[in-house]
A and B are shown apart, each in its own frame.
Chain A
Amino acid sequence: MSVERREARQPWILLSPAMAAITLLLFVPLIFIVVYSFWLRTATGADQAGFYLNNWNEALTDPFYRDILLNTLKIAAITTIVCALMGYPAAYFIARSRGNKAILLLLLMLPFWISYIIRTMSWINILGVSGAVNSILIWLGIIDEPLQMLYNETTVILGLVHFLLPFMILNVFVSLDGIDETLEDAANSLGATKWQGFLEVTLPLSLPGLAAGGLLCFVLGAGTYITPLVLGGSTDAMFANLVFEAIITQLNWPLGSALSLMLLAVLGALVLIYNRYLGMAQLMKGLG
């Protein structure tokens, strides 16, 4: 075999384990889900194979699902904005700090060593009726009765921000770290204040990282069911909770499949729209 042909094959050989895993663990199950979504759940609880549109009809027309979907997107959007506002300064601080970047990044990764569920449940110990905050406030005599702080939309967003902030910081950090620091010096020497230099130079150049972090936060936030399950109230269900409810609780696989495909379609469409702009931002970065 010629060298050229061996070299042409090499990328495929290197890719094949990952492609096999994705095919077996993602595409094959996805096809099952698509097939399931057209089955019918009968009154007896058995699933009737076939091509029925009942699940899709219910998922697409029932305003209950639509409202929860919109609410899910709203919560994900708020979470993403909060992550961006909180994460950008932190990423900037890490990127511009001298010498100890590795330690700061390690500290940032530290929460990932603890299960996401445990991290989420830790808020119960902090904000719960007998949690840290209430205990301290009662001990200080500021309140007599414990405050009800948990199980609402705010705590869901709080939990999501807690979960997703490192993703945002890492993405923004990577793009900030790649920006030549002399660019800000150059802007300042030409008459721009620190803030003007940041707005004119650093911020636009870091937008690809902010966009990537934002997309990741939004998609992960919109697809979560553990945070609303642990920290949300009865009315704070997000869309993934409906899928969980249908499949795990009601064992209604056909409806659960249709709902999960619906969420996948909405998020997929958002990713595609986003990618157009992200792609442009990458192009801008490529110019640098």
Chain B
Amino acid sequence: MVENVRARPEGLLTPETRFPAAVAAGKSSSPETGIVSSVTLSDIVKRFEAFTAVHKTSLEIPEGNFVTLLGPSGCGKTTTLRMVAGLLDPTEGEILIKGRKVNDVPIHKRNLGLVFQNYALFPHKTIAENVAFGLKYRGVSKQDARKRVQGALELVQLPGVGDRYPKQLSGGQQQRIALARAIVIEPDVLLLDEPLSALDANLREDMRVELKRIQERIGVTTIFVTHDQSEALAMSDQIVVMSAGRVEQVGAPEDVYNTPASEFVANFLGASNILPARCVGRDGDAAVLETETFGRVPVPAAKAPNVSGEGPAKLVVRAEKLQLSPREAPADGVVAVDATVEAVDYQGQAVRYFVRAGDRHLQAINMIDERPFAEGAPVSLRLRPRDCAALPVS
């Protein structure tokens, strides 16, 4: 793959938006949008001896954006974050923060807020001392420091805990303190390394909302690393999906979710059925894909950006877009095929069905308000072509 980034929304990205002249002037900005870029990764590569953790990657993150690096473990997302933080040196390429090249700037001079998965609070210091830690190295007077610490603790909704020690707080509270400690120094960029993954499921969802609220309130450019797709979808302005050290797709959550740029993205975000297909031509603005299971499906051009001309392709059908219904005549413009329910995974408000249509096994996630279909039930699978996406065969 020569070009790592396939989809290319405005503002956040790569060769076109790199302007050495603007960088030299102390400011890198995208000419189309005029948004000042806060963090720029320019062709960075990270190799550990023979192993390449991050292949040539470029990214531009606009000021104030919340950008998530999403991918499974080992995909290079944390390595990328650590390079921005200054905990790792890129093997090749440049990293710019607010237009300043930081490759040779040590971590303590980068002015970053860093939040770790395990909180990393100093156990021998009180909460107030923890939060004030970064202010000491910024020449903030004691009086100002006290005010700013108080302000930061109020922002994370833990105003009364300054005299306690980290061990006396719960995991969620410790993570709020870690966040307060990172933002009290007014960092240029906030870097969050899987900050929610050590928390319980319920708490994680609360903290997700809380974290996003705080980020929006202070407007700090944020890079968030996670392997959790729901966190990424819920919090991000832009998602960077990574796999095996390469960027698979960059885009707004709904774009990445609805129009995956690769089979990997389609499978990693949510559950998808990926069917072998053939593009047999165009029908107005749609690419017509022929599949064994669903026959001819006209996929809107916007959802088939990389499928052009006739030839083999893949049809992506999200599990929740595949509707099960009793076998009766479908409405116009709806593709319907007969299928049999093989297994039922009842989840309360939704059901995940494993169905067989012909000799193909598919999964469908349907909201239900009554009884789910039983195993072995004959059903009709319905699909609106505009809910499908098409991928080229790589």
Contact = CB atoms under 8 A, between A and B. Distances in A.
A105 interface: no
Interface stretch (A180-188, A212-220, A244-252): A180-188
Interface string A173-204: 00000001011011111111110110011001
A116 B12 CA distance: 67
A183 B122 contact: yes
Contact of B118 (A182, A194, A196, A197): A182
A107 interface: no
B118 A189 contact: no
A149 to B, nearest CB: 44
B124 A185 contact: no
A45 interface: no
Interface majority SS (helix, strand, loop, mixed), chain A: helix
Nearest to B193: A182
A192 B137 CA distance: 7
B86 to A, nearest CB: 8
B137 A205 contact: no
B87 A190 contact: no
B167 interface: yes
B114 interface: yes
Interface stretch (B93-101, B105-113, B148-156, B288-296): B105-113
B182 to A, nearest CB: 8
Contacts of A204: 124
Nearest to B167: A287
Interface centre among A186, A192, A204, A287 (most CB of B within 10 A): A186
Contact of A190 (B134, B165, B166): B134
B181 A190 contact: yes
A189 B114 contact: yes
Contact of A288 (B106, B124, B134, B137): B124
A187 B133 contact: yes
B124 A188 contact: no
Given A191-B108, A193-B108, A205-B124, A185 B116 contact: yes
A98 to B, nearest CB: 12
Interface of B: 85-87, 106-114, 116, 118, 120-124, 133-134, 136-138, 165-167, 178, 181-182, 185
Given A189-B85, A191-B136, A287-B124, 7 more contacts: A188-B108, A189-B113, A190-B114, A190-B181, A192-B137, A194-B108, A287-B165
Interface of A: 180, 182-183, 185-194, 196-197, 200-201, 204-205, 284-288
10 contacts: A182-B116, A182-B118, A185-B120, A186-B114, A186-B121, A186-B178, A190-B134, A191-B111, A200-B122, A286-B167
Give 4 closest A-B pairs by Cβ, nearest first.
A288-B123, A191-B137, A190-B134, A189-B114
